[in-house]
Amino acid sequence: MKYHLTYSLLFLILLVAACNTKKKTDESIRQAETLFPKGEELNSKNFTGTVWLYMMGARDSTLHARFGNVTFAPKASTNWHSHPGGQILFITEGKGYYQAKGQPARLLHKGDVVEIPRNVVHWHGAAPDSEFAHIAISLNADEGGAVWLGPVTDEEYDSSIMQ
Ligand code: MN
């Protein structure tokens, strides 16, 4: 009887250990899939829809670059805006768009890079049916932060992505 109890206990311990290992593996896979942390949900009037931001790097850096990981829920986007010092986007997840004012929208996938010249009015955001994430690097940040304009209207969004 005592013999059986010992083996039952041992089995239980091994089962708990196995479950813990599986949980850790799941977390590792999820982190590997997102590449960079999703960060905090943004509460900003300069974006439409649900957006998460994870800023990286030191604020007082003499490199004058501000960079972070931005994740957009489906259809979420920035407002129209421009960057006095320019910006580079490295797409890391999903499907989305970049549009410079007066130009056709550019469809973007994981692995695409967008170079945004100084002072070009534009927006970036997710496709209607996909999350979208990019690393955004704002350059020459000592020359000023983003200049924010109005939201991308539903009409602008719909006509942009149909092109
Ligand atoms: Mn931008």
Q: Are residues 46 and 17 in the same domain?
A: no
- Ligand 1 midpoint to CA 60 (Å): 21
pLDDT of residue 34: 78
Q: Where are the alpha helices (H) located in the chain, listed in sequence order?
A: 2-34, 154-162
* CATH number of domain containing 67: 2.60.120.10
Q: Are residues 76 and 11 in the same domain?
A: no
Q: Are residues 112 and 146 in the same domain?
A: yes
Integer Cα distance of 147 and 42 in angstroms: 18
Containing 38, the helix (H) or strand (E) segment is none
Integer Cα distance of 8 and 104 in angstroms: 67
Q: Are residues 23 and 2 in the same domain?
A: yes
- Ligand 1 midpoint to CA 87 (Å): 6
Q: Are residues 27 and 44 in the same domain?
A: no
Name the CA radius of gyration of the chain, rounded.
22
Its sign, for the CA torsion 43, 29, 34, 95, is negative
Query: DSSP state, 137?
Result: E
Beta strands in 57-105 (DSSP E): 66-72, 77-78, 81-82, 87-100
Strand 87-100 to 106-109 pairing: antiparallel
pLDDT of residue 62: 87
pLDDT of residue 24: 52
Integer Cα distance of 95 and 76 in angstroms: 12
Integer Cα distance of 108 and 146 in angstroms: 22
- Ligand 1 midpoint to CA 95 (Å): 16
Integer Cα distance of 37 and 26 in angstroms: 15
- Ligand 1 midpoint to CA 161 (Å): 17
- Ligand 1 midpoint to CA 125 (Å): 10
Q: Are residues 16 and 70 in the same domain?
A: no
Integer Cα distance of 119 and 123 in angstroms: 12
Q: Which residue segment(s) compose the domain that 28 sits in?
A: 1-33
Q: Are residues 68 and 106 in the same domain?
A: yes
Q: Are residues 47 and 71 in the same domain?
A: yes
- Ligand 1 midpoint to CA 96 (Å): 13
Q: Are residues 10 and 62 in the same domain?
A: no
Q: Are residues 27 and 72 in the same domain?
A: no
What tens-digit pLDDT sequence spans the chain (163 residues)?
555 655 564 454 454 555 555 555 555 555 556 789 999 999 999 999 999 999 998 777 789 999 999 999 999 999 999 999 999 999 999 999 999 999 999 999 999 999 999 999 999 999 999 999 999 999 999 999 999 999 999 999 999 888 6
Containing 152, the helix (H) or strand (E) segment is none
Structural domain count of the chain: 2
